Chain A
């Protein structure tokens, strides 16, 4: 007993709070109330951030705390150094500048679209120590366990004097990050477009926000989910027809998530045409966990879609969503509310199908978007593209997939998520999508990564769709069958041409492989006239001109 009480009397229990108070005091030198002038933002960051801190810079795949990112890149690297950056998206050039300058050393992240090549170069040059490439839900979860940020730099449309933040449709990752930071004695700094007397809606309560900087320019949002229908090819339309007739229809898939590529945009655009003709309205694709894809507008307008919950927003979609509260989640202020953590959970547990594209698929069905010189990150795909073993509610689609996977062998009914990879057999520059071994395996060796980055593991994949047909991997009973099923839809890639033709024909006879002609799909219909909208302008017209496309997509 004496020993125990000695220990407790010497232990300090609020070192984190003391540290927080010191940081707040240092930062307050640049603040009036919570407000900090933009010209003092760099000084503020130098005052509150300490060497080795875990810093969460709001880089989602959509909205960017771009002003704070630029100010962080300007700090004195002898004062602020060796930071551990824990953020969803490494998207801006400034995010990489931190590592070049030695301000940051270690990185844990989820997604890096445009900076994929720069990250690969920095890794090879030893400028970045890479922790892991997470799925969003996984990284958010680690904010509450072993990657809790000391400082979170966030972004909102506006704030009031108490620091209440309004984020509008772009709430995205902010609530979860701020909660993890604020309740563990961290510092939260927000950049906002304007200061107002009363925010339209409180997306983050002010008592979780320490400092607010009103920026000279509005924050940047990447229109990541806008796909111009004008660029959709006939091969992609054929793939979309296969997915609808060969998967959505027989399984009765109502609840789903789509990836962001042109293949899934093609599916969205032929729901009101092709799927309508097949009599599938109301029977498939009614409930989505999905960003507000502009290419979903025709399906919404023709009454296909009942409900959409979103991870984030999409540039130009605000007014359209505001006018469709029956479809989207809308706050009392009238604007849409997004939340990446909630929507990722929804996509994991409450959908029956994930369908998305990838850059490479190997002979086991493992996929990756990493190539030798690009660390692309995966975003939400590894999460939604996985069969959640914690699921305990049944649906028709889930049970049917479970029966196919189990074959004759089960006495205990159990379901299975449909995880579909939809690709063209060749990608850009005639790069084959099907490969003997993923580039990311080679990359992991050369960078000494503990875990080769795999977007979706082969054992989670239920179907692969290409222009050559559908491979149903649930029905494969041996590793050899599985490999031949994959080769059997791999077209004229080396992997496809090395198929065992007899084995592939046997699989086709068992409907493990289905060709377009097996499903009664007419190749003549794989035509752009099947698209409900063939341009961005037509999407705008479908929306009753409520959709306001960003300038770079306006070519008229």
Chain B
């Protein structure tokens, strides 16, 4: 298992007030994303646990674009990866911040 930690400054806080959310499942080609609203409004950390080695730069690129697209300030995000493709990772992250907004369960 490889552990990777990424920290970003964001434009502003993530929308909504929900404290935490979990999206996805740990399965082959899939991933589980846990989001917790525990950081300062312009901070975001993403911690990735993945069984696949050698893709650090792709993970960093996905997370950088995600922060740019979603502005997930205040969120501590933990990823439990099952060997998902980058497109699936991005989709789950975007689903995660949407779930943190009110009105979704």
Binding site for B on A (CB under 8 A): 233-235, 238, 424-426, 430, 466-468, 491-492, 497, 515, 517, 522-524, 526
Q: How far is the CB of A290 from chain B (nearest CB, A)?
A: 27
- A-B contact list, 12 entries, CB within 8 Å: A233-B88, A424-B87, A425-B87, A466-B87, A467-B87, A492-B58, A497-B61, A515-B69, A522-B98, A523-B94, A526-B91, A526-B95
Binding site for A on B (CB under 8 A): 58, 61-62, 69, 85-88, 90-91, 94-95, 98-99, 104
A492 contacts B62, CB within 8 Å? yes
**B85 — which chain A residues lie within 8 A by C-beta?**
235, 424-426, 430
Q: How far is the CB of B32 from chain A (nearest CB, A)?
A: 14
**A425 — which chain B residues lie within 8 A by C-beta?**
85-87
A-B contacts besides A233-B88, A235-B88, 8 pairs, CB < 8 Å: A425-B87, A467-B91, A492-B58, A515-B69, A517-B69, A522-B98, A523-B94, A523-B95
Top-5 shortest CB links A-B: A492-B86, A523-B94, A467-B87, A524-B98, A426-B85
**B94 — which chain A residues lie within 8 A by C-beta?**
523
**B90 — which chain A residues lie within 8 A by C-beta?**
467-468, 491
B98 contacts A235, CB within 8 Å? no
A492 contacts B91, CB within 8 Å? no
B104 contacts A524, CB within 8 Å? yes
In the bound complex, what is the Cα–Cα distance between A238 and B95 (angstroms)? 12
Knowing A497-B61, A517-B69, A523-B94, the reply to whether A235 touches B104 (Cβ < 8 A) is: no
A234 contacts B88, CB within 8 Å? yes
In the bound complex, what is the Cα–Cα distance between A523 and B94 (angstroms)? 6
**B104 — which chain A residues lie within 8 A by C-beta?**
524
In the bound complex, what is the Cα–Cα distance between A555 and B58 (angstroms)? 37
In the bound complex, what is the Cα–Cα distance between A515 and B86 (angstroms)? 16
B98 contacts A523, CB within 8 Å? yes
Q: How far is the CB of B33 from chain A (nearest CB, A)?
A: 12
In the bound complex, what is the Cα–Cα distance between A515 and B95 (angstroms)? 15
In the bound complex, what is the Cα–Cα distance between A481 and B40 (angstroms)? 40
A492 contacts B61, CB within 8 Å? yes
Residue of A nearest to B86 (CB): A492
**B88 — which chain A residues lie within 8 A by C-beta?**
233-235
In the bound complex, what is the Cα–Cα distance between A515 and B90 (angstroms)? 13
Task: Select B86's contact among A491, A524, A526, beta carbons within 8 Å.
Answer: A491
**B91 — which chain A residues lie within 8 A by C-beta?**
234-235, 238, 467, 523, 526
Of B85, B87, B91, the most chain A CB neighbours within 10 A belong to B87
In the bound complex, what is the Cα–Cα distance between A501 and B98 (angstroms)? 25
Residue of A nearest to B83 (CB): A430
Residue of A nearest to B23 (CB): A524
Q: How far is the CB of A431 from chain B (nearest CB, A)?
A: 11
Task: Select B87's contact among A426, A522, A524, beta carbons within 8 Å.
Answer: A426
Q: How far is the CB of A281 from chain B (nearest CB, A)?
A: 27
**A523 — which chain B residues lie within 8 A by C-beta?**
91, 94-95, 98
Task: Select A524's contact among B61, B69, B99, beta carbons within 8 Å.
Answer: B99
**A468 — which chain B residues lie within 8 A by C-beta?**
87, 90
**A233 — which chain B residues lie within 8 A by C-beta?**
88
In the bound complex, what is the Cα–Cα distance between A235 and B95 (angstroms)? 12
Q: How far is the CB of B44 from chain A (nearest CB, A)?
A: 18
Q: How far is the CB of A393 from chain B (nearest CB, A)?
A: 39
Q: How far is the CB of A465 from chain B (nearest CB, A)?
A: 12
In the bound complex, what is the Cα–Cα distance between A238 and B99 (angstroms)? 17
In the bound complex, what is the Cα–Cα distance between A515 and B62 (angstroms)? 15
**B58 — which chain A residues lie within 8 A by C-beta?**
492
Task: Select A426's contact among B61, B86, B99, beta carbons within 8 Å.
Answer: B86
In the bound complex, what is the Cα–Cα distance between A234 and B87 (angstroms)? 10
**B87 — which chain A residues lie within 8 A by C-beta?**
235, 424-426, 466-468, 491-492
**B99 — which chain A residues lie within 8 A by C-beta?**
524
**A467 — which chain B residues lie within 8 A by C-beta?**
87, 90-91
Residue of A nearest to B99 (CB): A524
Residue of B nearest to A424 (CB): B87
Residue of B nearest to A467 (CB): B87
Residue of A nearest to B101 (CB): A524
In the bound complex, what is the Cα–Cα distance between A81 and B84 (angstroms)? 51
Of A235, A424, A430, A523, the most chain B CB neighbours within 10 A belong to A523
Q: How far is the CB of A154 from chain B (nearest CB, A)?
A: 43
Q: How far is the CB of B49 from chain A (nearest CB, A)?
A: 19
In the bound complex, what is the Cα–Cα distance between A528 and B85 (angstroms)? 18
**A515 — which chain B residues lie within 8 A by C-beta?**
69
In the bound complex, what is the Cα–Cα distance between A522 and B69 (angstroms)? 13
Q: How far is the CB of B64 from chain A (nearest CB, A)?
A: 11
